Amino acid sequence: MSNIGLLTDIPPREAWSHEAIDFTPWLAENLSVLGEELGIQLEFESKETSVGGYFADIVARCPQDDRVVLIENQLEKSNHGHLGQVMTYLAGTDAQIIVWIATDFSEPHLAALKWLNEHTVDPFAFFAVRLRVVRIGESDPAPMFEVLERPNNWERQMHAVQRENRTQSPRASQRQAYWSKLVSTCPELEDQGITLNGSSSQWLVPDDVSCFVISIYIAIDGVGLFLRGPRGSTPADVFERFEAESDRFKELVGGEMKDATASSHPVCFLKIDTTKSENWERAALWQCEKAKIWLQATSEIFADSLV
């Protein structure tokens, strides 16, 4: 029997020694990892944004309904100071979704967020997210986000929002128009899972592969795609399955791929201003070509793999 590694916790400051200098920039580039746990997509807008004499760690946007998301980070246990900052940011910004990340939460702070969820009206939502960092043996550290407090019926609310608002906001309408452009450029992608909606990302399902899907996405500053696992899996899960075949996969898809680690997915990105529709043809041609190559490589290497 092959060796089975054990998942062990390590102090988060072993992965990021400084909150503002190390952790916040990492999170800004990996919002999809957090968004997966929250059940929403997150588009980065700014970091270290001045609000009333303080600096909000990250400001993002939920593309499903264009709500502003404010993310406050702590590489330590929750404290009253950060609770006060959260309330200051709420009063000084247009944020309607508040995400407070800490390595642990006291019961009074969880109770405070629960009270806010129960006594504020929609569309306000408050989250407490515990950050863990883990590794298997001597592997790279990998983050894990655990949601300790969220609004009641959050998943049901977000499904309703997606159905009702997906095509109503300007950004959602623009994304829907881009997907239409992509499908007209590359009709075969529609058979792989592309639908004409207003979401910022879609899943392409490689033939005969159960352990991976390809997430194809559009952001304000470009388009890209990355290899990910089924819903609920982490970058560390992807890396564990992918590592042994990483050189072969990179050879098949070409040299533009950013290498995978235990904390980030294999990704390929074209930087281009997608707010200008005159750039869509170039973006769609690039994304079409890459999607077909990635689908073929994934099927060739990982066909008949099990989750």
Q: What is the DSSP string of 43-64?
A: EEEEEEEEETTEEEEEEEEETT
Q: Which two three-digit tokens encode residue 285?
A: 């041609």
pLDDT in tens, 125-154: 899 999 998 887 777 788 889 889 888 766
End-of-domain residue from the set 114, 129, 161: 161
**CATH code of the domain in which 142 resides:** 3.40.1350.10
Domain boundary among 106, 141, 161: 161
Q: Rounded to an integer, what is the distance from CA 234 to the centroid of its chain?
A: 11
Question: What is the per-residue pLDDT for 217?
Answer: 84
| pLDDT 10s digits, 204-257 | 888 887 788 888 888 888 888 888 877 656 667 777 788 888 888 888 887 677
Same domain, 136 and 13: yes
Q: Are residues 155 and 176 in the same domain?
A: no
Helix axes 280-302, 170-185, angle to 10 degrees: 70
**Claim to verify: residue 210 and residue 135 sit in the same structural domain:** no
**Same domain for 152 and 60?**
yes
Angle at 224 between CA 289 and CA 49, to 5 degrees: 160
Q: Which residues pair with 201 in a beta bridge?
A: 217
pLDDT digits (tens, 9 = 90+) for 8-54: 888 888 888 888 888 888 888 888 888 878 877 788 887 777 776 67
Question: Do 144 and 201 sit in the same domain of this protein?
Answer: no
- 110 in the same domain as 176: no
Which tens digit of pLDDT belongs to each residue from 245-301? 888 888 888 767 776 665 567 788 888 898 899 999 999 999 999 999 999 999 988
| Of 65, 90, 70, 66, residue with least CA distance to 158 | 65
The model's confidence at residue 3, banded by pLDDT at 50, 70 and 90, is low
Range of the domain at 33: 7-161
| The pLDDT value given to residue 99 | 93
| 230 inside domain | yes
Check: pTM over 0.85? Answer yes or no.
no
